[in-house]
Amino acid sequence: MGQDVVSNLFEVLPYLERFHGKTMLVKVGGNVLNDRKSKDCFARSITFLVCVGIKPLIVHGGGPEITTLMEKLGMKPTFRNGYRVTDEQTMEVVEMVLNKINKDLVATLNLSGVKAIGICGKDVNFLIAEKDTQYGDIGYVGKVKRINEDLVSWLFQAGYVPVIAPIGVGEDGTTYNLNADVAAAQIAIALKAEMIIFMTDVDGVMKDGRLVSQLDVEEALKLIQEGIVKAGMVPKLSCAVEAVKNGVKSARIINGNDPTALLATLFASGPIGTIVTNH
Ligand SMILES: Nc1ncnc2c1ncn2[C@@H]1O[C@H](COP(=O)(O)OP(=O)(O)O)[C@@H](O)[C@H]1O
Ligand SMILES: CC(=O)N[C@@H](CCC(=O)OP(=O)(O)O)C(=O)O
């Protein structure tokens, strides 16, 4: 038993050396956070990363919870190209739900021994946004214009784990709803993260019922163009491509409901989920 543990430790040593001190952006989808067990497991995995000297940064979603509350309030959720059409009333619900998810996740992480701190784009102007019109006028949907990288540096120096809600603020103070995958990729690029990990509710990118373990940029774009990748996986894979084209060394798409996936994607020798690289 003791010998097994030691040989496993020796096996992970090269990965520990490679990732020590590196920034890893972990995007966790609303579907994963909905499940108590997955959320607790996620918190323990993040604690492990901190203990081995990795600097994790978390961006969370919350799409399903926003939809649930809107429906309870008698509102009709509408999407265009995966983006929620966000009028003023919807923006209020989005902000309320995301801030609640943010604090719940912070509390779970703190219970697990991490010094987590919750922020949204409004805190020290972390995410300056502007209206996103790529799919026409869909209200208060924003895209990131500028990031206050200093804030993250200060938090890392203090040993804190930033937990970011995808809410942006305009230069005139307008509140914007950001797609969490898009915000995560833009933050990873700005912070020159080593890796961006998308934790979702499937094992990775699927083709003909099978998991695709490795994709370069061209292959990823082809899967989108051919319609093999659809719905919420389109922005996710596009964001993975965007991140690796702009300096993030690799992007991973893994199953957040698999309790071992986050640590395995970093420390196991075999491939886990889908890895996207720029070559
Ligand atoms: N080729 C594909 N491979 C994997 N998932 C796909 C594919 N095409 C569409 N999807 C869908 O994308 C979903 C993941 O996106 P989404 O629901 O937006 O996740 P999240 O809430 O984690 O951001 C999967 O649950 C799946 O239904
Ligand atoms: C503009 C836009 O669509 N914003 C998303 C923000 C939350 C999100 O992205 O959550 P998931 O990661 O769980 O999908 C929304 O309103 O649902």
Tell the burial category of 76 from Cβ atoms under 10 Å away from its Cβ (0-12, 13-18, 19+): exposed
In this prediction, does ipTM exceed 0.95? yes
pLDDT at 279: 80
Of 85-94, 137-146, 266-275, least confident by mean pLDDT is 266-275
pLDDT at 87: 98
pLDDT at 29: 93
Above 90 in pLDDT, residue 136?
yes
Higher pLDDT, 115 or 270: 115
Q: Is 277 helix (H, G, I), strand (E, B) or coil?
A: strand
Q: Give 63-98 pLDDT, tens digit per residue.
A: 999 999 999 999 999 999 889 999 999 999 999 999
State the average pLDDT for the chain.
96
pLDDT at 1: 63
Of the chain, the percentage scoring pLDDT greater than 70 comes to 100
- Give which of 126, 65, 130 is closest to 95, Cα–Cα: 65
HEC-encoded secondary structure of 224-257: HHCCCCCCCHHHHHHHHHHHHHCCCCEEEEEECC
pLDDT at 231: 86
- 44: annotated binding-site residue? no
Bridge partners (DSSP) listed for residue 136: 134
- 118: annotated binding-site residue? no
Q: Is 259 helix (H, G, I), strand (E, B) or coil?
A: coil
- Average of pLDDT values for 130-141? 96
- Average of pLDDT values for 46-70? 97
Higher pLDDT, 8 or 90: 90
Q: What CA dihedral angle connects 129, 39, 229 and 94, to 10 degrees?
A: -40
Burial 201-225 (b: 16+ CB within 10 A, else e): bbbbbeeeeebbeebebeebeebbe
HEC-encoded secondary structure of 30-63: HHHHCCHHHHHHHHHHHHHHHHCCCEEEEEECCH
- Average of pLDDT values for 183-207? 97
Q: What CA dihedral angle connects 97, 101, 106 and 109, to 10 degrees?
A: 180
- Record the pTM: 0.96
What are the structural domains, with CATH classification, of the chain?
Answer: 20-277 (3.40.1160.10)
- Average of pLDDT values for 191-205? 97
Distance 237 CA to ligand 1 centre (A): 10
Above 80 in pLDDT, residue 230?
yes
Ordered alpha helix ranges (H), the chain: 2-19, 30-33, 36-51, 63-72, 88-111, 149-157, 180-190, 217-225, 233-245, 261-267
Above 90 in pLDDT, residue 191?
yes
Furthest-apart CA pair in the chain: how many Å?
61
Assign 19 a pLDDT band (cuts: 50, 70, 90): very high
- 252: annotated binding-site residue? no
Q: Which residues lie with the beta carbon below 6 Å from any ligand 1 atom?
A: 29-31, 61, 63, 181, 200-202, 205-206, 228-233, 236
- Average of pLDDT values for 96-119? 97
Q: Which residues lie with the beta carbon below 6 Å from any ligand 2 atom?
A: 29-30, 61-63, 66, 83-84, 94, 141, 166, 177, 179-180
- Average of pLDDT values for 17-26? 97
pLDDT at 82: 86
